[in-house]
Amino acid sequence: MLRFIVLSAFAAVALATPILDTTLDKHWEMWKDHHSKTYDDKHEELKRRIIWEDNLQTINLHNLEHSMGMHTYTMGMNHFGDLVRNSFQFSPHGSRGKHHVTSWGVGGNTMSHHGE
C-alpha cells in the first residue's frame, strides 16, 4: 500500500510538471531580450514561457495552414507572446477608457496580423 501511495505521488508530480521544449531555450531568451521582458520570479517566468510556447505553436500551425491555402493571412510573434487572451487592458485614446483586447494579439491568438 505504501508503495502505491509513493508511486502515485511521483506520478502526480510528474504530470503536474510542465515540459518545456528545450530546443526553444535560445529563442525564448532572444524574444525576452528583444522585448525587454523580465519576470518577478522563476515561477512567473515558467508560466509565461509555457504560454509563449503554446502561442508559438498556434502561430506556426496557422502559418502552415496558410501555406496550404486555408487562411488569407499569416501570423507572427509579437511582444504579447507571453500573455493569454484578455490578460491585459489598454487605453488607445488616453483617458477615454480602457478596452479589453479580445482579438489578434493576445493568448491562443497572440500574434501580429500580417496581410489582409
pLDDT by residue for the chain (116 residues), tens digit each? 667 675 565 555 555 566 999 999 999 999 999 999 999 999 999 999 999 999 999 999 999 999 999 999 999 999 999 999 766 555 455 443 333 333 334 334 434 444 44
Provide the whole-model pTM: 0.64
Dihedral (CA of 32, 34, 35, 37) sign: positive
Contact 101, 86 (CB under 8 A): yes
Q: Report which residue type is found at 98.
A: K
Q: Which one-letter DSSP state was computed for residue 36?
A: T
Please name each of the domains of the chain with its CATH number: 25-115 (1.10.287.2250)
